Amino acid sequence: MTARILLVLSLSGFFFASNAAHCATATLTVDTAASAVIAAAKGTEKITITINAGHVEIITTSVKLIGDKIGDKRYYHRGPGGPALVEVKSESAGFKLRAPDSKLLWKIKIGDDKIKVSDNEQNANAWAIKTDHADKAKIVDPAERPIGEVKFSKETGKTKLKDGDDVEQFVIEAGKFSAAYGVLLMSGIPRESALVIVAELMARGH
């Protein structure tokens, strides 16, 4: 099954991910199909993420990232045959993004009530999505300051993502709740890395 996500983002360049209120710390299933449409409060940039049998394509107005599995890793390139960007390897409780020279870029730890994103092995000073509710999640920065909230409405079937000032940034049409949309508010993560994290969380059903 092919998972296809269309995102309409604001000019400020936030980014996307998909599904999980409660995340398992056991071995994670990779390449889960999912779909969502995200509309930003402002802006017209479009991003499409497609996952199909281990192959990932991330297409924006300015870049195309392609990820393919080789062994136990997925390697991302800028376009077909383009320069290497990152490699992703799963772990029992998440995954890591590394540069072509094997330098750690981002470590994502998926727990029962929290998803952490950090640039170090210890997960120190991590961005976090608190997933301890069935229909909403809080996003905090490395200093534990609230920077926004993801909230799902059963009545409309839509999810709204608001920043720390309670300003609506995105409305997501997916028919179900996903805490992982909180990655869109993590301004400290570079754009291409954020897109890869989005795709990889989606591939794991979050």
Give me the mean pLDDT over the 75-91 stretch: 91
Q: pLDDT-derived band of residue 80, with 50, 70 and 90 as boundaries?
A: confident
Give me the mean pLDDT over the 189-196 stretch: 89
pLDDT tens digits for 108-159?
999 999 999 999 999 999 999 999 999 999 999 999 999 999 999 999 998 8
Residue with tokens 């301004």: 187
pLDDT at 18 over 60: no
**Given this model, what pLDDT does residue 34 score?**
62
**Given this model, what pLDDT does residue 151 score?**
95
**Given this model, what pLDDT does residue 50 score?**
82
Q: In whole angstroms, what is the distance from residue 103 CA to residue 192 CA?
A: 16
List, as one string, the DSSP characters of 91-152. ETTEEEEE-TT--EEEEEEE-SSEEEEESSTT-TT-EEEE--SSSEEEEE-TT--EEEEEEE
Counting residues of the chain whose pLDDT is more than 70, the rounded percentage is 83
pLDDT tens digits for 86-112?
999 999 899 999 999 999 999 999 999
Q: In whole angstroms, what is the distance from residue 58 CA to residue 61 CA?
A: 10
Give me the mean pLDDT over the 37-53 stretch: 76
**Given this model, what pLDDT does residue 79 score?**
86
Q: In whole angstroms, what is the distance from residue 70 CA to residue 27 CA?
A: 19
Question: What tokens were used for 201?
Answer: 């969380």
Q: pLDDT-derived band of residue 68, with 50, 70 and 90 as boundaries?
A: very high
pLDDT at 49 over 90: no
CB 162 within 8 A of CB 148: yes
Give the start-to-end residue ranges of the domains of the chain. Answer: 3-203
Average pLDDT score, the chain:
82
Question: What tokens were used for 102?
Answer: 């094997």
CB 38 within 8 A of CB 44: no
Q: In whole angstroms, what is the distance from residue 152 CA to residue 172 CA?
A: 9
**Given this model, what pLDDT does residue 168 score?**
92
Q: pLDDT-derived band of residue 28, with 50, 70 and 90 as boundaries?
A: low
Question: What tokens were used for 141?
Answer: 């920065």
